Structure 1
């Protein structure tokens, strides 16, 4: 396979510059974010679905845990969510490498509209009729509308509180794994990739999406209590890795503290070069340890478990997994 383009940045300066003001991220998802590829033949998921702090989670553990120490890993999914067999198999792969994997339901039971619901073109070699073409375009428009509505229901203000609840509960349930790893690790795919960045950052408590709920208003809070409140929150993770993230803006890199590894797709409209390069520039100038690998000739979503006929894509999928695994193991 063609080698991914690699741009590895070590900390180079202590500059404290922010990227230029960002245009809003495109509010859209790829079909690869909302539907699964065929699952690997003969492979079944081995973890369990349970609850942490009343949030549904899929948990996968190493076979010898807790007799052998393990680290804690959050896996943040694409739009198909924690019930997806492919996502569960992905979690199991990390568990087999020595991680207790917690994969939360980011969507409160409301997974993304499935792109496979779009009717296929009529099964004929003849060109589609005007009516057939109209039906296909109407279905595509309807799907786009449903996805836009779904995204409006699952914003940063909704997702971050879910993640904080899960993290707080995991600190009790898996205290041994967090202690052994010196913190929590995270990997994220598509929709979940953005939240790896947010969990890796230090943000002001008043920042949009920080989600800190104060017990009283600032005007009624005693002065000594107000002074004791933290001015920032995060980072929540020790290190993170993300693959073909979606819904990311340049501002999502602001405040990054934890080391991050980025799997990116060449010419990916879901994660534009402009956003990726602004992020790289910010991380370099702000002394954030990071690596970025750009994979050519693969579709958005390729790093998620799923079968492809193309050997190049299959090879790249394995390489991306090894990149992400190596990063969190080294940190």
Structure 2
């Protein structure tokens, strides 16, 4: 795949947002507004803030329900007359109603995938008290003070939001959607030999989980007290993620399906040394197909569709999409 001098291709590594980044790294910000939304590494500003849509584009998919869960569905223009493959798209904190997320789903649909994007936050997207358009250089100390206060308030709101949306809440939603999709779009699942997945920011965490060993507490009883729940095969045939957040080391090292990882250099939300590098070693030993692409000089969250003016981000966003698309198409 094509590379640029600022972008290095590396094998996957491991995740440990449990380990705080050093102050020097955590405070580094290449672009205005690219700061953790909390005092500790968890969610990035670019993952929780809705940016203007590129070129005034309008989504073409439909809001519907699968398994009783609200979903956005984007279909190829010639479906069902031509075969398609099923793609599960999991968003960052901006959620189902974000126009940019819907446009992202439409882009994958235009490449032949039947895209299902669930409301994994159950109608409760991340708080958005700071608008990116307000984050700019200003000579007024009063305006700067107001912005800093607003960012502080958002940090507290994000803390509360994350506490409401933990794995035990999100995974049952995803299981319902997957089962509903298997029934509703059995032709697409069969045509692709399974379900594919892409995830951004917090959604990336759940793509990794679904691409790994699965144990569903609602359907799997423990074999015995020592062995615990019976393990399942991955629910995804292959996956691709961009700038994951809240990812755990065991989630990265537990991957079983082929996964492509887009990461950001010096990103405290998905650190290379603590998470990605150890995971790479584990996955190589296990013989799991994987690849990591590390982008430099772009903010965490850069791959989420949105209207950017910085040429480097525009270029990197297009390349990340192309690499992720190429990976799932190739598997």
Same fold (TM over 0.5): yes
Q: How far apart are the structure 1 equivalents of 2:300 and 2:132?
A: 19
Q: Report SS of the residue matched to 2:10.
A: strand
Q: How far apart are the structure 2 equivalents of 1:311 and 1:299?
A: 13
Aligned residues, how many?
307
CA contact (8 A) 1:118 1:143 kept: no
1:169 alignment counterpart: 180
What is the CA-CA distance between 1:8 and the residue it aligns to? 4.2
- Between structure 1 and structure 2, the one with the greater Rg is 1
* CA 1:298–1:213: 2 relative to 1, 3 Å: same
* CA 1:215–1:124: 2 relative to 1, 3 Å: closer
CA contact (8 A) 1:266 1:294 kept: yes
What is the CA-CA distance between 1:136 and the residue it aligns to? 4.2
Q: 2:116 aligns with which of 90, 102, 106?
A: 102
Q: 1:55 aligns with which of 61, 69, 78?
A: 69
Q: How far apart are the structure 2 equivalents of 1:329 and 1:286?
A: 23
Q: 1:139 aligns with which of 138, 142, 150?
A: 150
1:235 aligns with 2:234: yes
Q: Could you list the per-position Cα deviations for residues 31-72 of structure 1 after superposition, in whole angstroms to 9, with x for gaps in the alignment?
A: 111112210113110000000011000000000000000000
* CA 1:211–1:35: 2 relative to 1, 3 Å: farther
1:13 alignment counterpart: none
CA contact (8 A) 1:202 1:256 kept: yes
Q: 1:181 aligns with which of 192, 198, 202?
A: 192
What is the CA-CA distance between 1:3 and the residue it aligns to? 4.3
Write out aligned runs for 1:11-30 (5 A): 23=18, 28-30=42-44
What is the CA-CA distance between 1:278 and the residue it aligns to? 1.8
* CA 1:113–1:21: 2 relative to 1, 3 Å: closer
CA contact (8 A) 1:31 1:115 kept: no
1:7 alignment counterpart: 10
Structure 2 unaligned segments of length 5 or more: list them: 21-39
CA contact (8 A) 2:9 2:293 kept: yes
CA contact (8 A) 2:104 2:305 kept: yes
2:89 alignment counterpart: 75
CA contact (8 A) 1:261 1:324 kept: yes
What is the CA-CA distance between 1:28 and the residue it aligns to? 2.3
TM norm structure 1: 0.85
Q: How far apart are the structure 2 equivalents of 1:243 and 1:21?
A: 16
What is the CA-CA distance between 1:272 and the residue it aligns to? 1.1
Q: How far apart are the structure 1 equivalents of 2:135 and 2:325?
A: 40
Structure 1 unaligned segments of length 5 or more: list them: 10-18, 220-226
Q: How far apart are the structure 2 equivalents of 1:121 and 1:326?
A: 34
Write out aligned runs for 1:82-231 (5 A): 82-116=96-130, 125-126=139-140, 128=141, 135-203=146-214, 205=215, 210-213=216-219, 231=230
| Larger CA deviation: 271-280 vs 113-122 | 113-122
What is the CA-CA distance between 1:121 and the residue it aligns to? 8.1
What is the CA-CA distance between 1:137 and the residue it aligns to? 3.9
